[in-house]
Chains A and B, each alone.
Chain A
Amino acid sequence: MAVTVRIPQLLRNLTNGEREVQVEAATLREAIEALDARYPGLRQRLLDGQGELLRYVNLFVNDQDARLLSGLDTPLPQGAEVAIVPAMAGGC
């Protein structure tokens, strides 16, 4: 599945400044592995030692919070847009 990943400012030093990266992946986990293969170091900014998503990393698949879907096992439809959003402070 070809999907588009939006990279936040804080991680663009790893992607040579790229805002959007296309990868082939069937799940979010695969997308992160594919990103790391191209831009080594990205994986450890997003996942902990056990391979789980870090607390302050938010992933969205077509604007849906992956934590409310199937986490890293969330399937990615063809053409899906994945957004990485750090430290989503927000709130009142």
Chain B
Amino acid sequence: MGLVGLRCRECGKAFPVSPVYACDECLGPLEAVYDHAGVDPAALRARIEAGPRSIWRYADLLPAPHDPEADLQAGFTPLLHARRLGEALGLPRLYIKNDALNPTWSFKDRVVSVAISAARRFGFEVVACASTGNLANSVAAHAARAGMEAYVFIPAGLERAKVVTSAIYHPTVVEVEGTYDDVNRLCAQIADEYRWAFVNVNLRPFYSEGAKTLGFEVAEQLGWRLPDHVVVPIASGNLLVKIARGFDELARLGLVERRPVRVSGAQPSGCNPVARAFRAGQAYVDPVRPQTIAKSLAIGNPADGKYVLEVVRATGGAVEEATDQEIVEAIGLLARTEGIFTETAGGTTIAVLRRLVQQGVVRPDETVVAYITGMGLKTPEAAEEASAAPVRIPASLRAFEADVLSGRRADAAQRAPSLITR
């Protein structure tokens, strides 16, 4: 039971469990293969429910063993019924999966936790990644925890906060002059020559599986039930594909009742190769040169674009895009309706959700889950425009009454007078 091997996603050729990522026949990507024959669903469910409050409660369904020495307890983040945002959008059963609440404040901790465990199992001493920022944060932190040497490669010009939040763990931060796609290509070339564990290159078959836990958790938190529709941000596309895979695995194992889950994807207009391919009816994604404030989604050549298109089309979802302006507005909307401060990727998800509701793709009768994958403090620049300006006053009651009370929101001011009369 558990992981039994790897398989080429294109030609199906089988490989033993090892740190290989490309097929030697067709050069296609590899994925994990499990054998869950004879698993008792009730016993598995009980094991999960008794497990740690982290992704490792799903260890039976992951491709690496739990490694407490390298574990920062990623996952098991809140699923919130978003009543006020739902009201604003016309969705009474809207839920937010707040995955900003992870050890390094993005969903990357899930995939990195799995990858680091695999890296240690394979005896790697150096761990590395190509990153738009969040992944670098997570790799640097997990490497520190595990006592491994870390190299994180990022495009030069990232948000300052996203550099500091890697550098503090003392990896070697390599700023590459170019886009994320340049960084990614360079890392593929380095991984080809040196025995380093690049979590999202040569360990990708393991790493990518960690994203399934965002499907598992939502189902468990809904009371072992699948939602009707999920909206997921797209960078490489792996997250979206693996959330759908997570739902499918639970149904195949008998942990939830099988029902169709529509899967929709969100991209910024400044990096929209999958949205464009979706609209054009193409089976493949043509690369673009990104130009967007949503830097964590700025992958012009998304590795899993083709698989995203397959999942979205098969489930009756859509891939939609949002402009930089809409993204900033949506960051503000989520913050002031639900008290959740997300980064630009989360703004993209909410902005696209809004468009999909307007288009009638996401419907009011559906149980909808929007995935918020990163936190706002990492991209404060993007949030400033959507923020309320402070009201500065002298320390006097008169100034408070003149400048603060007079500016109360209209809806609040309509309520009964709030002066205390005793």
Contact = CB atoms under 8 A, between A and B. Distances in A.
B27 A90 contact: no
Contact of A88 (B238, B284, B303): B303
Interface string A13-51: 000000000000000000000000000000001000000
A85 interface: yes
A56 B285 CA distance: 12
Interface string B287-313: 101000000100101111010000000
Contacts of A85: 185, 188-189, 192
Given A85-B188, A87-B21, A92 B28 contact: no
Contacts of B23: 56, 87
Nearest to A85: B188
B191 to A, nearest CB: 10
A11 to B, nearest CB: 8
B326 interface: no
Contacts of A54: 26-27
Contacts of B134: 92
A56 B305 CA distance: 12
B189 to A, nearest CB: 6
B296 A92 contact: yes
Interface string B16-60: 000001111011111000000000000000000000000000000
B188 A88 contact: yes
Contact of B28 (A8, A87, A90, A91): A87
A14 to B, nearest CB: 11
B214 to A, nearest CB: 13
B132 interface: yes
Interface residues of B, number: 45
Q: Which size class do A's interface residues fall under? A: 20 to 34
Interface string A55-92: 11110100101011000000000000001011111111
B235 interface: yes
A58 B215 CA distance: 31
A90 B184 contact: yes
Contacts of B181: 65
A89 B24 contact: no
Nearest to B132: A92
A89 B333 CA distance: 34
A58 B36 CA distance: 35
B27 A86 contact: yes
A34 to B, nearest CB: 20
B182 interface: yes
Contact of B26 (A56, A60, A88): A56
A90 B212 CA distance: 17
Given A55-B306, A88-B184, A91-B236, 10 more contacts: A10-B24, A54-B27, A56-B10, A56-B28, A63-B182, A67-B287, A68-B287, A85-B188, A91-B304, A92-B299
Interface of B: 10, 21-24, 26-30, 108, 130-132, 134-135, 178, 181-182, 184-185, 187-189, 192-193, 200-201, 204, 235-239, 284, 286-287, 289, 296, 299, 301-304, 306
7 contacts: A63-B185, A65-B185, A85-B189, A89-B22, A89-B204, A90-B236, A92-B135
Ranked 5 nearest A-B pairs via Cβ = A91-B236, A90-B184, A87-B22, A86-B27, A89-B204
